[in-house]
């Protein structure tokens, strides 16, 4: 899928669950195209594509309501600050459980951001579905928009800003030790296992004994590393993978 960069580095989405983040990515992927950025457009997707392994629609409903209640701050590349709901009005029809449909829309202030976005992150849907923690998924998304930048291989973050990037709720994991053990290390582990790139996150600035900044480093994996990873993942999720590593991924690693 293609996800606008403005919807990756956002503030205010720390309360969203992994299920809600996955569902939102599915909705974006389904809507992507010429009509995505125009105000007032409705998009439709079968509920069967949103359920995953669950038979009912309760989790879908919970995630939709969480997205509608989430107001995020989007920082544009032109310095603009926009506050917007992640998901607009929608209708869910489930008179026949196997053929239910969700019709949804985006907030009128979100539509122009989607239309005008000039930086995109390429996200692999199979990988998105494989992530088991919201911190791992958030780190994967953040790295996806950075890993192809030329001559840029790291970025420094204030600790509070990095907590927000990972989606750590306010007041949770207050010490850096807890943050590292419960959020950073598990996120890195998932990214290394599932993504075509690797990363490290280390303290880069201290005030006394307190960590105030961290440095995120990233690099693209070698072709051999990606082939080994591909085979391991295919054994676990055979229905999601073609028979061989896509040529596009091999070419990406060789660039």
Across 6-15, 78-87, 149-158, 232-241, least confident range:
232-241
Instruction: Give the global pTM.
Output: 0.65
Across 145-159, 166-180, 226-240, least confident range:
226-240
Distances from the Cα of 220 to the Cαs of 57, 153, 224, in angstroms? 38, 10, 12
235 and 166 in a common domain: yes
189 and 233 in a common domain: yes
What pLDDT, on the 0 to 100 scale, is given for residue 144? Answer: 87
Q: How many CB atoms lie within 10 A of CB 98?
A: 8
101 and 194 in a common domain: no
Residue after which a domain boundary falls, among 91, 120, 149: 120
Which helix (H) or strand (E) segment holds residue 126: the answer is helix 125-130
Which tens digits make up the pLDDT trace of 10-54?
A: 665 667 788 888 898 888 888 887 777 677 789 999 988 887 655
Report which DSSP code applies to 120.
E
Helix 223-236, helix 247-254: angle, nearest 10: 150
Given a cut of 70, whether residue 211 has pLDDT beyond it is yes
139 and 63 in a common domain: no
Distances from the Cα of 203 to the Cαs of 27, 138, 215, in angstroms? 36, 19, 6
Instruction: Residue 138: give the domain boundaries.
Output: 129-254
Which tens digits make up the pLDDT trace of 88-131?
A: 899 998 765 557 899 999 888 877 767 656 555 566 666 777 88
CATH code of the domain containing 211: 1.10.10.10
Count of domains observed in the chain = 2
Residue after which a domain boundary falls, among 120, 141, 167: 120
């Amino acid at each position: 899928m293609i996800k606008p960069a403005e919807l990756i580095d956002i503030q205010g989405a720390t309360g969203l669950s992994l299920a809600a983040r996955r569902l939102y990515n599915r909705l974006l992927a389904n809507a992507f195209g010429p009509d995505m950025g125009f105000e007032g457009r409705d998009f439709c997707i079968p509920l069967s594509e949103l359920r995953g392994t669950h038979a009912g629609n309760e989790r879908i409903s919970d995630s939709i309501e969480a997205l509608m209640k989430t107001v995020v701050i989007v920082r544009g590349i032109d310095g603009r600050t926009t506050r917007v709901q992640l998901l607009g009005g929608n209708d869910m029809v489930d008179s026949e459980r196997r053929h239910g449909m969700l019709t949804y829309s985006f907030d009128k202030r979100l539509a122009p951001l989607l239309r005008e976005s000039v930086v995109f992150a390429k996200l692999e849907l199979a990988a998105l579905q494989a992530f088991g923690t919201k911190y791992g998924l958030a780190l994967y998304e953040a790295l996806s928009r950075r890993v192809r930048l030329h001559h840029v291989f790291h970025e420094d973050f204030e600790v509070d800003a990095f907590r927000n990037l990972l989606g750590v709720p306010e007041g949770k994991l207050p010490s850096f030790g807890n943050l590292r053990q419960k959020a950073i290390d598990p996120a890195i582990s998932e990214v290394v296992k599932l993504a075509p790139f690797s990363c490290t996150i280390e303290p880069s600035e201290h005030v006394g004994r307190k960590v105030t900044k961290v440095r995120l480093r990233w690099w693209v994996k070698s072709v051999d590393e990606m082939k080994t990873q591909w085979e391991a993942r295919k054994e676990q999720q055979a229905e999601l993978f073609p028979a061989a590593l896509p040529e596009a991924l091999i070419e990406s690693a060789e660039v």
